[in-house]
Chains A and B, each alone.
Chain A
């Protein structure tokens, strides 16, 4: 194939990571490291030359492992710039697509790479469609901000393969606003979906209360959770969500609390439980009684025969 320089070995130090193409997604696998340790790199890295520098476009992990293992040289296929930036982008896209759809950072990186390398505007539109990026220019401007995000943010969204739909609520936020959110995500290993949920609770609470994000995150109820070393990461995440929910939805939270307190007033036998719609949109409540033997009947009857219980159930209905 023209423009293809095969069967070449290059010193690891001669190969660079293209800054606008640094979009590795899945974590490095131990198997790959072990294989390279035992047998070296078996399939060549694909690189291209741009302005006298050689950049890797497929083989980021292999290159990193080779550097870690102090391998002197690695096999490469080097494409020169006449190969075409679009083809280079396609190779990168295919290598990313191997496991799943590229995440938003990967998509915008490819799009940006094409843009700065003077790919014609019509071709760029076609790429935007192919990458499922929005047509709306203001949205695209917001997405491009991701390219400026700090490395820990990018590692996080790569780890969870974050899509446009998922990241959309974060795109108009500044780095300073996002920093405490990503700190929570990284420190507590919060899954992306949960982190977006947490971020919405934080940002919306701050706007509703007309205070800063820092003030929300330093609110007593939140601080107590974040500083509690007795809790596991998962427990901390759940408690944090609950504390933030109370700040964002005070009326709903108070209503739930009131309902729970009323439920406690009812002298429930062990085989009974009360359930109600958490959003309080559905009318009424459910009284669930498990009956296995005669004793269960008796305790169920005692529940509904007590005036105090009936009064409490009525109160619960009227909340």
Chain B
């Protein structure tokens, strides 16, 4: 993949003397810098494409750690926790929700990232016996800016000290060499890649690494002793989808030992209907908004269920052909899809969370994880529970 290109750095005056900002300045020494008291107007007015080349370093005023926003209305989530350590992504996937989700498209990183540690300490204190999955990559690719910010490398040693925790970095890049220093030093780091056929990567996931590069990076990560995750999400419908996805799975298992894979997710393309116009404007002629899509129960556009079923059955059976027991789950799907594809369905979000925990507990005994107790997972107040939803 091509290197990430930054054209200008904006630094909030409050953080200009921080080690975090100084590190970025030293790594991007040829890039013009503007120090300002408040977010420069340019950050607000820049287009999505312009914003992807502007880097703003400031403090974050809200909470970094949050439950994954997931979705609701009969679709099952998994109680994953997200860290929003960066907002805005230099990659340019046509379907990216950030195009409508964020006020500004500028790449923003936060010098007070250390608050993540305080927040997570407080969170885990409430759930000492639960196995927690947490990761970056929600509002930006986890590794795209790693070369300049080093933020993942700052977080890995902290999470390594945490019991019952899996810390996931999700990426569509090949930026793994920055993690070499952690080789065989951490057992709860999960490096994950979103996988799609080359046809999708070339035509829809712009500025990302090719499938070959992603898989080569995964092989490198495997050699470095990291645990691996893979996300078939979003699954995209196109004429040759069946052979395309089958080929990806074949390549994946040719190179990766299933024992090193902690989880594989499957999720169909979904987006708020309002994003359709933005996608059409930014990527004229793209076919992703012209599939046989309906408005789901969560008011998001998604493929017609029989189409999802067909694609998911094909992908799931191919995964099972290679690995009968790697933990495979649906992201934001309903029970009917689970049952018709996998033959069973979690009762709800808390139950899926528990199933994750059981799988991790059984598969990684060397980590001395707490034995999952179903009752403890049922007590977890998921933001997707109807009672919590109505209170938000």
Q: 0/1 per residue, A198-239, Cβ < 8 Å to B?
A: 000000100110000000000000000000000000000000
User: Per a CB cutoff under 8 Å, which of B281, B285, B287, B294 touches A252?
Assistant: B294
User: Per a CB cutoff under 8 Å, which of B304, B306, B336 touches A283?
Assistant: B336
User: Does A136 lie at the interface of the complex (its beta carbon under 8 Å from any beta carbon of B)?
Assistant: yes
Determine the chain B residues whose CB is within 8 A of the CB of A283 once the complex forms: 334-336
| Tally of chain B residues near chain A (CB < 8 A) | 22
Most buried by B among A137, A207, A282: A282
Determine the chain B residues whose CB is within 8 A of the CB of A279 once the complex forms: 294-296, 304
Q: How far is the CA of A40 from the CA of B155 in the complex (A)?
A: 80
Interface size class of chain A, counting residues whose CB lies under 8 Å from the partner chain: 20 to 34
User: Does A68 lie at the interface of the complex (its beta carbon under 8 Å from any beta carbon of B)?
Assistant: no
Check if B45 sits within 8 Å of A135, measured CB to CB. Answer: yes
- SS class, residues of chain A in contact with chain B: helix
Check if A252 sits within 8 Å of B304, measured CB to CB. Answer: yes
User: Does A7 lie at the interface of the complex (its beta carbon under 8 Å from any beta carbon of B)?
Assistant: no
User: Does A95 lie at the interface of the complex (its beta carbon under 8 Å from any beta carbon of B)?
Assistant: no
User: Does A50 lie at the interface of the complex (its beta carbon under 8 Å from any beta carbon of B)?
Assistant: no
Check if A204 sits within 8 Å of B290, measured CB to CB. Answer: yes
User: Per a CB cutoff under 8 Å, which of B74, B277, B284 touches A168?
Assistant: B277
User: Does A180 lie at the interface of the complex (its beta carbon under 8 Å from any beta carbon of B)?
Assistant: no
When C-beta atoms are compared, the residue in chain B nearest to A125 turns out to be B45
Q: How far is the CA of A207 from the CA of B284 in the complex (A)?
A: 11
User: Does A280 lie at the interface of the complex (its beta carbon under 8 Å from any beta carbon of B)?
Assistant: yes
Check if A281 sits within 8 Å of B294, measured CB to CB. Answer: yes
User: Does B94 lie at the interface of the complex (its beta carbon under 8 Å from any beta carbon of A)?
Assistant: no
Given contacts A204-B290, A281-B305, contact A139 B281 (CB under 8 A): yes
User: Does A138 lie at the interface of the complex (its beta carbon under 8 Å from any beta carbon of B)?
Assistant: yes
Given contacts A279-B294, A281-B294, contact A251 B307 (CB under 8 A): yes
Determine the chain B residues whose CB is within 8 A of the CB of A264 once the complex forms: none
Determine the chain A residues whose CB is within 8 A of the CB of B74 once the complex forms: 282
Check if A207 sits within 8 Å of B285, measured CB to CB. Answer: yes
Determine the chain A residues whose CB is within 8 A of the CB of B295 once the complex forms: 279
User: Does A115 lie at the interface of the complex (its beta carbon under 8 Å from any beta carbon of B)?
Assistant: no
User: Per a CB cutoff under 8 Å, which of A138, A172, A251, A282 touches B306?
Assistant: A251
Q: 0/1 per residue, B303-332, Cβ < 8 Å to A?
A: 011110000000000000000000000000
User: Does A308 lie at the interface of the complex (its beta carbon under 8 Å from any beta carbon of B)?
Assistant: no
Given contacts A136-B47, A249-B292, contact A280 B284 (CB under 8 A): no
User: Does A169 lie at the interface of the complex (its beta carbon under 8 Å from any beta carbon of B)?
Assistant: yes
User: Does B280 lie at the interface of the complex (its beta carbon under 8 Å from any beta carbon of A)?
Assistant: yes
When C-beta atoms are compared, the residue in chain A nearest to B284 turns out to be A172
When C-beta atoms are compared, the residue in chain A nearest to B285 turns out to be A207
When C-beta atoms are compared, the residue in chain A nearest to B310 turns out to be A251
Interchain nearest-CB distance for B158 vs A (Å): 40
Determine the chain B residues whose CB is within 8 A of the CB of A207 once the complex forms: 285, 287, 290
Determine the chain B residues whose CB is within 8 A of the CB of A138 once the complex forms: 281
Interchain nearest-CB distance for B391 vs A (Å): 25
Q: How far is the CA of A252 from the CA of B291 in the complex (A)?
A: 11
Within 8 A of B (CB), among A116-162: 135-139
User: Does B297 lie at the interface of the complex (its beta carbon under 8 Å from any beta carbon of A)?
Assistant: yes
Can you add 13 more A-B contacts, CB < 8 Å, to A280-B294, A283-B334?
A: A135-B45, A136-B47, A168-B277, A169-B280, A251-B306, A251-B307, A252-B292, A279-B294, A279-B296, A281-B297, A281-B334, A282-B74, A283-B336
Interface residues, chain B, CB within 8 Å of chain A?
45, 47, 74, 277, 280-281, 284-285, 287, 290, 292, 294-297, 304-307, 334-336
A–B pairs, 13, beta carbons within 8 Å: A135-B45, A136-B281, A139-B281, A172-B284, A207-B285, A207-B287, A251-B307, A252-B292, A255-B304, A280-B304, A280-B306, A281-B296, A283-B335
